[in-house]
Homo-oligomer: A and B are copies of this chain.
Amino acid sequence: MPVFEIHARSSETKARAGVLATAHGPVKTPVFMPVGTLGTVKAVSPEELLACGAQMILGNTYHLYLRPGCEIIEAFGGLHGFMNWHRPILTDSGGFQIYSLAKMAKITENGYAFQSHIDGSSHLITPEDAVDIQLRLNSDILMCLDQCISHPATEKQAEAAHHLTVSWAQRCREKWDRADTAGNLLFGIVQGGMYPHLRRLSAEALAEIDFPGYAVGGLSVGEPREMMHETAQYTLPLLPDEKPRYVMGVGRPGDLVEMVGFGADMFDCVMPTRNARNGQLFTAEGTVNINNARFRADTESIEPECTCYTCCSYSRAYLHHLYRNRELLAYRLNTIHNLHYYTRLMAQMREAIQENRFSAFRREFYRRRGVDTP
């Protein structure tokens, strides 16, 4: 069975629907992966993730490497056993978090030298280490160590980061080839900032190395939203068509709709979970803040059409009450609704692609929000 099979394509857009085979089972695409930074998707249990329709989750290598540490997770045969989630897991390489969280991070040809943001301890992570750590976590999909740059970046900075990322991708691939893997897949990450010719060079160089899948990195790093869409729209078709394409760290519901139309298959973002903890709930008509006083006596559910546990069991008034009083159940119920919203959106897109009505779906998506465009 091939790693990725495309079962349907939209004739008016580049959207496609497929199935990605992993060591922990198949994943229907397009797919959204909830973020489980520290071996838990914040506020929800594995059973609730499944009930929300989650197929695959993301773990953060940098965080897990520091806490609890690979040797602990290895004692459980990997992250699945440690956290009691027995479906597919993708881990990032840690590069982005070292860059954004660690202290005194220093990047050299050899890798990242940094100090833990928790206890200040010194660490060095090479591309080979990044693969090794992710194999110890037994991730279904490993990501190559890359150099992510913020926006704006000069062309020279972007070019240097692209070169380093490609050279590290080669080293990751070699490490992965030598390793005794159990079906763990390694994805390459395209960098190149907002420079189209660098994105092209990066995509071509990675395709040359040959990976089971590819990601577009370096988005959502401070650039305007339109530029993010343009860069993704330009970059995605440069990636091998028959391979899964993952847009990292994106995004808002409208971003997902646009990117699927550009040919993206996989996404991750903290937005549904983080916003839930801030009282922001997603609905087909847009977002609402459950803290708003207008929900105080509202006996309706958040979204009457929604079939999530929260909407089937609780009113806006109750969620408002829980949130106002910072009750722990508030974070859970909000998170369940938002994750369900995201996975349902992906399932609706998949269905629309299979029935070749993705453009109509997109128009209706914006119509219900009362806007014309992303």
A interface residue numbers (CB < 8 A to B): 38-40, 42-45, 67-68, 71-72, 75-76, 82-84, 296-297, 299, 313-315, 317-318, 320-322, 324-325, 327-329, 331-332
Contact = CB atoms under 8 A, between A and B. Distances in A.
Given A84-B313, A314-B84, A328-B331, A322 B75 contact: no
A322 B40 CA distance: 8
Contacts of A76: 299, 315, 317-318
Contact of A328 (B39, B42, B299, B314): B42
Given A45-B332, A76-B315, 7 more contacts: A38-B325, A39-B321, A40-B327, A42-B328, A72-B321, A84-B313, A328-B331
Contact of A45 (B75, B317, B329): B329
A164 to B, nearest CB: 31
Interface majority SS (helix, strand, loop, mixed), chain A: loop
B71 A297 contact: yes
User: How many monomers of this protein are in the complex?
Assistant: 2
Contacts of A332: 45, 328, 332
A320 to B, nearest CB: 8
Given A321-B68, A324-B67, A43 B329 contact: yes
Contact of A297 (B75, B314, B320): B75
Contacts of A42: 327-329
B329 A44 contact: yes
25 contacts: A38-B325, A38-B327, A40-B327, A40-B329, A42-B327, A42-B328, A43-B328, A45-B332, A67-B321, A67-B324, A67-B325, A68-B296, A72-B296, A72-B317, A75-B297, A75-B299, A76-B299, A76-B315, A76-B317, A76-B318, A82-B315, A82-B318, A83-B318, A84-B313, A84-B318
Contacts of A75: 297, 299, 317
Nearest to A71: B297
Contacts of A321: 38-39, 67-68, 72
